[in-house]
């Protein structure tokens, strides 16, 4: 199989309390590379169509990549996946930190968690020794508090991924947490762990990663590290991390404000990177092998409330700050702490709270239903709502299922400003004046998420009124960016300091011994993309084009304030871009992959499954 792979997958069944190592399929490694590719392939093959995302047939899969844990910049990424309780389709979430490398050192290329425990449990992996232990004493504890307890019990050298109270209560926007501030945030994987009563996975390993050419890996790794250090943006990027983009996003009229009502936040200077650095920052915090640590470990105080937190990073600043209209970095950081400790995705958490605040403002939900008066720019309102969501108490029980489900229950036109695609809440870039970014959100395979194609800079550079040519750029980005998720590496060095993408196929060859061109890597990302898209058609009755549209606010309400005032994309423009995108993807007018496309990518099983459902 070559280097980079440990050659084993660990399968843990929580129902019968059995764990066993299985050989890694060389064909899966060849066709799907690793990371997100392994996650989605395993889910497609093993989770039955129509399974309850919170039932016993769903599985949690976690997979590093062939470059995870290798001597190179930022090789600490891992992908978590499950049939998403938030969207009903296959979901995944990316996480940094040190968990990915430790799984490799323990000897595994992926871990599959299946079945359901009848009591709270923790999976403890120490190389080839795997135990399922009782976790009653950790159950109910916050993410950071529980992680400290587990490390105290097992040892500091264990790397831990775990859920907070929101996951335990099967809140559909619950995340998986790690290293006191890293999260696999999107698509509700934490709720799936909670449904299985799995509080945590703790891993310790002592193996070496096999390398095809160790000398070449060392030289290539050295070259990559020094290449990062030499980039002009290297020194400017680290001090503020992702929060440093806040003023730019605001200036170009793309900053989510007041539940995406507008795109410019008057108080942005109080919540951005400079405010973080000057007022709450303590030190930088990086993931495995990172030369540009974007994590900012901070201490915040709001009145008598104080907390330590990693962050806030940009998405949190946007969704908890601008979108909930919190005006100080101290308040945003405290809101960040609440989400982290409760085990909630800050993107979906901020989107759901801001949706609830708008519903309250419009009288769609009453003070009696909520339990108290809530209002914008109020940290106490935020804390009340986010805690109710995590505990599934009162109105929080409805909001805990996400904005799509909540709007379906609240009605009264709230669907128009429930900001999501496919059931996944929108992340930190408002796109009524950014057609490529809008299309990126519409077509992201897991729902409205920016990480597959961050196209806002292309819109700003190439023209924000023009929709022609935007589909080609979005697809290009959807090939490049997910490549990192297959390899097990962070994309921020490429994105933020302009580190050349071509280094990664070179390192892949040095590690694995397999020569792979950039084009072949793109083909692998296309294979995963079409696999997930096919499964959505199989999973959700009527799935297709209608699921790719944004909420009506984005094509019925022009931006009311700021640099983008009066701007809006029309339905005709959205349809033009979708038609162009589908054609270039090799899909039909409903957005379904064609037989020719699936066969070209070696996805014959997808063809058979679609035929079996009468969909092809």
Task: Give the pLDDT of residue 121.
Answer: 98
Task: Give the pLDDT of residue 2.
Answer: 79
Query: Percentage of the chain with pLDDT > 70?
Result: 100
Kindly report, residue by residue over 561-616, the tens digit of the pLDDT.
999 999 999 999 999 999 999 999 999 999 999 999 999 999 999 999 999 999 99
Q: Is 448 helix (H, G, I), strand (E, B) or coil?
A: coil
Distance CA 89, CA 82 (A): 9
Q: pTM above 0.95? A: yes
Task: Give the pLDDT of residue 79.
Answer: 98
Q: At residue 154, does pLDDT exceed 90?
A: yes
Task: Give the pLDDT of residue 315.
Answer: 98
Task: Give the pLDDT of residue 528.
Answer: 98
The encoded tokens of residue 331 equal 């308040």
The encoded tokens of residue 359 equal 């519903």
The encoded tokens of residue 477 equal 């980005």
Low-confidence winner among 223-237, 391-405, 532-546 (lowest mean pLDDT) = 223-237
What are the residue ranges of helices labelled H in 208-326? 214-230, 234-237, 246-251, 273-279, 314-316
Query: Percentage of the chain with pLDDT > 90?
Result: 98
Mean pLDDT of 51-73: 98
Kindly report, residue by residue over 281-308, the tens digit of the pLDDT.
999 999 999 999 999 999 999 999 999 9
Can you say how many angstroms the Cα of residue 15 is from the centroid of all Cα atoms in its chain?
A: 28
Q: At residue 237, does pLDDT exceed 90?
A: no
Residue 301: enclosing H or E segment and its boundaries?
strand 295-302
The encoded tokens of residue 279 equal 């007022």
Between the alpha carbon of residue 43 and those of residues 38, 53, 411, 488, 531, the distances in Å are 8, 12, 34, 18, 10
Q: At residue 235, does pLDDT exceed 90?
A: no
What are the residue ranges of helices labelled H in 343-394? 346-362, 367-370, 379-391
Mean predicted lDDT score pLDDT of the chain:
97
Q: At residue 1, does pLDDT exceed 80?
A: no
């Amino acid at each position: 199989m070559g280097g980079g792979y440990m050659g084993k997958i660990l399968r843990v069944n929580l129902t019968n309390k059995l764990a066993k190592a299985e050989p890694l399929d060389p064909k899966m490694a060849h066709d799907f590379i690793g990371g997100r590719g392994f996650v989605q392939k395993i889910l497609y093959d093993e989770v039955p169509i129509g399974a309850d995302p919170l039932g016993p047939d769903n599985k949690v899969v976690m997979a590093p990549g062939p470059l995870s844990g290798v001597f190179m910049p930022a090789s600490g990424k891992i992908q978590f996946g499950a049939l998403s309780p938030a969207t009903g389709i296959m979901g995944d979430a990316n996480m940094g930190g040190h968990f990915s490398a430790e799984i490799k050192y323990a000897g595994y290329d992926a871990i599959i968690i299946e079945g359901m425990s009848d009591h709270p449990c923790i999976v403890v992996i120490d190389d080839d020794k795997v135990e399922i232990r009782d976790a009653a004493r950790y159950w109910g504890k916050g993410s950071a508090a529980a992680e400290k307890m587990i490390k105290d019990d097992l040892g500091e050298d264990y790397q831990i991924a775990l859920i907070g109270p929101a996951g335990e209560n099967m809140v559909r926007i619950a995340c998986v947490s790690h290293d006191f501030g890293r999260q696999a945030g999107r698509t509700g994987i934490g709720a799936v762990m909670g449904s299985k009563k799995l509080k945590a996975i703790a891993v310790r390993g002592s193996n070496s990663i096999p390398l095809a050419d160790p000398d070449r890996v060392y030289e290539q790794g050295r070259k990559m590290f020094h290449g990062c250090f030499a980039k002009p943006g290297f020194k400017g990027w680290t001090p503020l991390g992702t929060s440093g983009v806040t003023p730019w996003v605001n200036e170009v009229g793309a900053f989510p404000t007041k539940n995406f009502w507008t795109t410019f936040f008057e108080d942005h200077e109080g919540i951005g990177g400079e405010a973080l650095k000057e007022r709450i920052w303590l030190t930088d915090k990086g993931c495995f092998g990172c030369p540009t640590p974007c994590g900012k470990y901070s201490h915040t105080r709001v009145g008598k409330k104080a907390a330590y937190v990693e962050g806030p990073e940009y998405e949190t600043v946007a969704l908890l700050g601008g979108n909930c209209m919190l005006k100080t970095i101290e308040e945003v950081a405290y809101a960040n702490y609440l989400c982290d400790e409760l085990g909630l995705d800050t993107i979906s958490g901020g989107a759901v709270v801001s949706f609830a605040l708008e519903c309250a403002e419009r009288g769609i939900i009453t003070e009696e239903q909520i339990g108290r008066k809530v209002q914008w720019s109020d940290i106490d309102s935020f804390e009340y709502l986010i805690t109710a969501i995590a505990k599934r108490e009162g109105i929080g029980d409805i909001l805990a299922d996400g904005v799509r489900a909540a709007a379906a229950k609240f009605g009264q036109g709230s669907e128009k400003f429930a900001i999501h695609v496919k059931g996944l809440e929108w992340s930190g870039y408002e796109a009524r004046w950014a057609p490529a970014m809008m299309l990126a959100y519409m077509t992201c395979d897991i729902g409205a998420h920016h990480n597959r194609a961050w196209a806002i800079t292309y819109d700003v550079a190439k023209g924000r009124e023009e929709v022609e040519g935007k589909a080609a750029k979005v697809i290009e980005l959807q090939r490049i960016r997910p490549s990192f998720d297959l390899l097990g590496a962070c994309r921020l060095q490429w994105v933020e300091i302009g580190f050349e993408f071509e280094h990664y196929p070179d390192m892949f060859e040095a590690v694995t011994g397999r020569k792979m061109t950039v084009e072949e890597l793109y083909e692998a990302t296309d294979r995963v993309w079409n696999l997930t898209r096919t499964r959505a058609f199989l999973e959700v009755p009527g799935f297709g084009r209608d699921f790719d549209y944004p909420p009506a606010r984005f094509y019925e309400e022009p931006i009311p304030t700021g640099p983008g005032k009066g701007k809006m994309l029309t339905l005709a423009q959205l349809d033009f871009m979708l038609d162009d995108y589908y054609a270039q993807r090799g899909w039909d007018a409903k957005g379904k992959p064609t037989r020719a496309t699936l066969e070209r990518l070696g996805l014959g099983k997808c063809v058979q499954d679609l035929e079996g459902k009468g969909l092809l």
